[in-house]
Structure formats: C-alpha cells, structure tokens
Amino acid sequence: MKYKIFTYGCQMNIHDSEVIAGVLEKAGYEPSETLKDADVVVLNTCCIRENAERKVYGRIAQLKYFKQRNPNFTIAISGCMVQQPHVVEYISKKLPYVDILFSIKNVNKLPELIEECRRIDSITAALAGNSDLAENLEVKHTSSIKAWVPITYGCNNYCTYCVVPYVRGREVSRLPEDILREVKTLADEGFMEINLLGQNVNSYGKNLDKPFDFPELLRRINEIEGIERIRFITSHPKDLSDELVLAMKECEKVCEHIHLPVQSGSSRILKKMNRHYSREHYIELVNKLKDAIPNISITTDIIVGFPGETEEDFLDTLDLVKTIEFDSAFTFIYSKRIGTPAAQMEDQIDDEIKKERLKRLMELQDSITKRKNNELVGTVQEVLVEGESKNDAQKLSGRTRTNKLVNFVGPKELIGHLADVKITESHTWCLIGEAVN
C-alpha cells in the first residue's frame, strides 16, 4: 500500500505531515512519488485565507478522476479546513467521493480509519480531537539536518481577522521535559538545527502547572550538545519580553533572526485587529532587538485592506516598513474568514483597492530586501548546507544564521555541515556565493 500527502499552509502543517507520514509508514505504508500509484491520498489543509481553501478544493476535484478509475483509492482530509463545521457539511453533501475527514489530533488512528472506510461506504469522520497531547508519535523527518519541534498547539489571541483559534483550539504548551527529551534525541540522531514551532512561542508555558517560560526553554536547549542552531516561529510582539531579548543575545546557538508579524503600521487598525500593541510599541521592540543583537534580521507579516483601512492607515504601514527596514515580509490581502469578528465589520475594502495597496507595499519591500541583500555582497557568511540547490544541481544550498537562502559553489562533502561562504551576488530571493577554504 502506498500513500501520498499534499500539504498546504504553515510550518506547523508541514510538521504535522511529517507525523502523518511517520504513522502511515509504521503501519506498513510506503511513500508514492505519483498520484497514479497511490492507494491513499491525504490532504493536510489550511484555511487561513480564501485562496488556500480554493487550492484544496481544486485538488479534491482532481482526485475524483482517480477515484472513478479505482474504487479502492482512499481520499483522507485533515488539517485546519476540516475543523470548520461549514466545510465538513459542504464536503459531506457535495463531495461524497471523499472517504475520511480526520482531526490531526487523531492522526494515530489513521490506519484504522482507512481500514474502516474500506468496509463501509460512507464518509468516515474522526473530527472530535482527543484532548490529550499526543507524545511519542513517529515522525518521518523531511530533512536529516534541521528538525521542527512543536512547543505549543493552538492560539488564545483571537486577532479579529484570524480563523486559527477557532480551528486549532486553545493554546496548550507541551511539557518542557518532553520538548527537551525530543531535542536531545534529535541531537543524538545528528540534527544540527532545531526550529521551535507555535502560533505564539513567546507565550510558551503560560498554562503549565510549574512555571517555565520561553526564554528559559531557549537557555535549556542552548545547552544541548550537538545542536548548532536554534530558531523559533512565530513571535507575537505583545509577549516579547526583555528576558527573551536577553536570552537571544546570550544563547550563542539562537540565530540572529526573528519573525515578528506586525500586520499593520497603523495603531488604529492594530486596535481593530485586537493585536494589543501600538505602532510605537512595535518600533521600540525592534530597537531593543537591534541594540542587543547586532545584525539581527527582522522579518514580518503584513495584511493590507483590513476592514476600515483608510489610505492614511495604509500610508502608516508603508512608513513603518521604511522605518524598520524589514529583511523581508510576507504580505497578504485581507481575506474574510467565516466566524471571525472582522468578517462582520461593515467597512470592508474594495478588492481593487486591496490589490493596488498590496502592489505598492510589495514594491517598497522588494526594494528594501534587495538593498539589504546587496549589502552582504563581499562578506563571508556561515551557511548550514542543506543539499543541492533546487534550481541548479551544480550549486549547493543553505541558509545564513539570519535565515537568508544562499546558493553557492562548493564541494558536495559540505552537505550537512557549517560552511563559510563568500557572497558574490544578490537577488531579491536569494544570495549567490562560493565556499571559502
């Protein structure tokens, strides 16, 4: 029996797919390169914006063809989309050739669910998540160099545009001993980089019985031998403490990069978004980070066209982007999500205005990214070499500590090691270089 997984959305989903693959392989399944040879297809879905959902529906429509040719072909859907009742209702009524809907919290039951749906001919749903955090699940790592380690699940922040708290549930922190044991095992297996994952890593530990916070977690992981680099996503500005800045500064393995979504440069809009910080507070935080950690790279997420956003609010965003000079930014058009407070707001923005604002924002950020990358030409950067470059097999590929992608000329033996790379060229999306010594 062979399986194929399609993953949509964030890093947490990418990691969840590593767990889905691990569970299926433990049950005897093998990976399939093509859809044609697969017996089971799993879609691990995302619903953060409308176009994420549109892609999933497109894929489901394509799968109908495979189902018609082979009735034993099994289609299973998990991830954030199936945590929305209206999506479950739609799939059940309109897409009856889908076999299984399951909560990712029930991933360990997936092999049983596949068996079951082969016996009975109706959609098998396992959506009520078991409330315990699943520990010790098999993980099929997609890299042997860097690993993803969830530290919290869910989100308590209820930003008014965001569907995540409704689909991923309330924030739960994993126990520090479980995280530390997992990182230790990964270090023993040879992983060099650890990426800690959570919707808001800065609030890690708030619901634990014994006090243990995120800066403390970083310090403990920093002591684990074998690990060379520590990264974390995502940080919420409202919970970024002075202790965290100090821990980042003092822990030599914690990389000089922070992804700190600002969402808007207008304090008025930030308030409507329920973000709990102002433009001034954000600038102050960034200054603290830049003072403590020279050369830190700062990346962000920005939404344009949130309900009620005026041209003046948008100009505040452009102005903030110029003030901070982000290394790069993910920029999004506001997308109305069913069940969120912002979807009920009356002053929704015209699609044309949203598109035009996105274009202006992207042009500005691209010029800043390009200039900042260009400043690195001529410098030597420490790169963790992950493999051959995707676009050019003659080159190797890896990231700087500041999380910039570098494609460079060097011997293949460098894969899996730290290498010094001289930067010779810069583009918006990557740097080009050559290994030194």
Distance CA 425, CA 104 (A): 43
Asked if residue 125 binds ligand 5AD (CB under 6 A), the reply is no
| Nearest CB to ligand 5AD, comparing residues 237 and 410 | 237
Strands, sheet with 146-150, edge to edge from the N-terminal-most edge strand: 146-150, 193-197, 229-233
Considering CB distances under 5 to 8 angstroms, the limit depending on partner class, which of ligand SF4, ligand 5AD, none binds residue 165?
ligand SF4
Tokens encoding 371: 């200039």
Considering CB distances under 5 to 8 angstroms, the limit depending on partner class, which of ligand 5AD, ligand SF4, none binds residue 236?
ligand SF4
Which of 244, 332, 381, 399 is close enough to bind ligand 5AD by CB under 6 A? Answer: 332
- In this structure, the strands spanning 124-126 and 100-102 are parallel
Considering CB distances under 5 to 8 angstroms, the limit depending on partner class, which of ligand 5AD, ligand SF4, none binds residue 12?
none
What is the smallest separation between the CB atom of 127 and ligand SF4, expressed in angstroms? Answer: 20
Which of 196, 255, 303, 432 is close enough to bind ligand 5AD by CB under 6 A? Answer: 303
Chain positions 212 to 251 lying near ligand 5AD, rule: CB under 6 A, are none
Asked if residue 335 binds ligand 5AD (CB under 6 A), the reply is yes
What is the smallest separation between the CB atom of 416 and ligand SF4, expressed in angstroms? Answer: 33
Asked if residue 265 binds ligand 5AD (CB under 6 A), the reply is no
Considering CB distances under 5 to 8 angstroms, the limit depending on partner class, which of ligand SF4, ligand 5AD, none binds residue 253?
none
Q: Where are the beta strands (DSSP E) in 334-427?
A: 380-388, 396-400, 405-409, 418-426
353's CB contacts (< 8 A; 6+ apart) are 305
Beta-bridged to residue 230, according to DSSP, are: 194, 254
Asked if residue 178 binds ligand 5AD (CB under 6 A), the reply is no
Q: Which amino acid is at 378?
A: G
What is the smallest separation between the CB atom of 49 and ligand 5AD, expressed in angstroms? Answer: 5
Which of 21, 63, 81, 159 is close enough to bind ligand SF4 by CB under 6 A? Answer: 159
Asked if residue 314 binds ligand 5AD (CB under 6 A), the reply is no
Chain positions 235 to 254 lying near ligand SF4, rule: CB under 6 A, are 236
| 26 closest CA partner among 128, 107, 99 | 107
- In this structure, the strands spanning 380-388 and 418-426 are antiparallel
DSSP state of 253: T
| Nearest CB to ligand SF4, comparing residues 98 and 273 | 273
What is the smallest separation between the CB atom of 158 and ligand SF4, expressed in angstroms? Answer: 6
| 77 closest CA partner among 47, 48, 49 | 47
SS3 303: strand
What is the smallest separation between the CB atom of 301 and ligand 5AD, expressed in angstroms? Answer: 3
Considering CB distances under 5 to 8 angstroms, the limit depending on partner class, which of ligand 5AD, ligand SF4, none binds residue 158?
ligand SF4
Ramachandran region of residue 12, left (φ > 0), alpha (ψ -120 to 50) or beta?
Answer: alpha
| 153 closest CA partner among 199, 108, 212, 214 | 199
What is the smallest separation between the CB atom of 14 and ligand 5AD, expressed in angstroms? Answer: 13
Q: Is the dihedral of CA 123, 124, 130, 136 positive or negative?
A: negative
What is the smallest separation between the CB atom of 385 and ligand 5AD, expressed in angstroms? Answer: 28
What is the smallest separation between the CB atom of 61 and ligand SF4, expressed in angstroms? Answer: 28
Distance CA 77, CA 421 (A): 42
Asked if residue 164 binds ligand SF4 (CB under 6 A), the reply is yes
Between the two ends of the chain, the Cα-to-Cα distance in Å is 47
Asked if residue 155 binds ligand SF4 (CB under 6 A), the reply is yes
Ramachandran region of residue 366, left (φ > 0), alpha (ψ -120 to 50) or beta?
Answer: alpha
Distance CA 127, CA 135 (A): 19
Which of 78, 106, 263, 317 is close enough to bind ligand 5AD by CB under 6 A? Answer: 263
Asked if residue 255 binds ligand 5AD (CB under 6 A), the reply is no
Footprint of ligand 5AD (CB under 6 A): 48-49, 161-162, 261, 263, 301, 303, 332, 334-335, 337
